Amino acid sequence: MDHAALKQTATAMVAPGQGILAMDESNPTCGKRLQAVGVENTEPNRVTYRDLLLGTPGLGDYISGAILYDETIRQKNPEGRAFTELMQEQGIIPGIKVDTGAKDLALHPGEKVTEGLDGLRERLEEYRGFGARFCKWRAVITIDMEKGLPGRGCIEANAHALARYAALCQEAGLVPIVEPEVLLDGGHSIEDSFAITRETQHTVFEQLYRQNIFFEGMVLKPSMVLSGKENAKQASVQEVAERTLECLQQTVPAAVPGIAFLSGGQSDEQATQHLNTMNRLAAELALPWRLTFSYARALQHQALTTWKGDPARVEAARKALLHRAKLNSLASKGEYRDEMERQEAA
């Protein structure tokens, strides 16, 4: 295992002012997004949409890497150029989702465990051949305080799978993005979210340590500490930032180079505001990690709804994508509010 190369890639993934574009939706999930704007879920349409995203001029100014799906990393754009080639020309690091999805956890009603470890070593070798330099594996944790969820067994099963995945990635010379997502669904309070997120992240890092993970060569992709979306009392942007940073301080080793948050069902604006406020607080606290973004919907939504399958709208859709990417780039430096205020003043 080349520690220096892993550290170099992980550090580049969380470079100042840059974040990660998550476009690793499975074909059915991608299809749902396309169908929501009246576009049929066919491979040519998926290629066209992916080309819209990855072919955006200037995207590399704000995006350090993009997480692809198995189909995507094998595809070429309508002009016959591999998507990974388009990315590399802009300095965007190719990444790949390698889990096979969250499945029902046996004897744990209402809980999931992510699968995909079988044959992973061989798949990682193949993905390296396609140009991948990092991977992603997502675990999902459901909060339901009335049902006593999550159970300890669910947290431990997912943490162990994340750690084994991360070890296989580093063995193959690929940086693992470790994603323990505590879901926003439910009526739980921000206090409940904090407690469950802290327990989850603590267990994940305990398992990573046991599997001999090189912390300098990984990236954490956590959820923010948020009120459940069905809770009548929604925490303020300031409280979300404070509780999220408090959780990180209690669970994440300083050796980890960066934390790329998922948006997890937040609106575009909320995800940006929360990230910006966290970075402003982090600067005051002199925290050891880069705090940035790894957003899917919060980056793609505006571009998708602008495009709606119309070839004449591709340029406008790319402009919308670039706009969201720029705003989140500013937020990753704690400069988003300043920029918004200058625009309003102008």
Distance CA 105, CA 101 (A): 12
71 catalytic? Reply is: no
Could you give the C-alpha distances from 175 to 3, 105, 172, 302, in angstroms and in order?
10, 27, 9, 29
Residues 6 or more apart from 136 whose CB is under 8 A from it? Answer: 22, 24, 67, 95, 96, 97, 98, 99, 176, 177, 179, 221
Give the DSSP letter of residue 2.
-
Residues 6 or more apart from 278 whose CB is under 8 A from it? Answer: 224, 241, 244, 245, 291
Distance CA 72, CA 14 (A): 23
Strand partners, 114: 102
Q: Among the options 25, 179, 181, 199, which is catalytic?
A: 179
Q: What percentage of the chain's residues is helix, strand, coil (to nearest 5)?
A: 50, 15, 35
Q: Among the options 7, 97, 136, 221, which is catalytic?
A: 221
Of the candidates 53, 43, 44, the one whose C-alpha atom is nearest the C-alpha of residue 304 is 53
Of the candidates 32, 92, 36, 40, the one whose C-alpha atom is nearest the C-alpha of residue 68 is 92
Give the DSSP letter of residue 76.
B
230 catalytic? Reply is: no
35, amino acid identity: Q
DSSP for 132-200? --EEEEEEEE--BGGGTBSPHHHHHHHHHHHHHHHHHHHHTT-EEEEEEEE---SS--HHHHHHHHHHH
Reduced to 3 states (helix: H, G, I; strand: E, B; else coil), residue 297 is helix
Structure tokens at 291: 């705090």
Residues 6 or more apart from 328 whose CB is under 8 A from it? Answer: 19, 62, 271, 272, 275, 293, 295, 298, 299, 336
- The catalytic residue positions are 179, 221
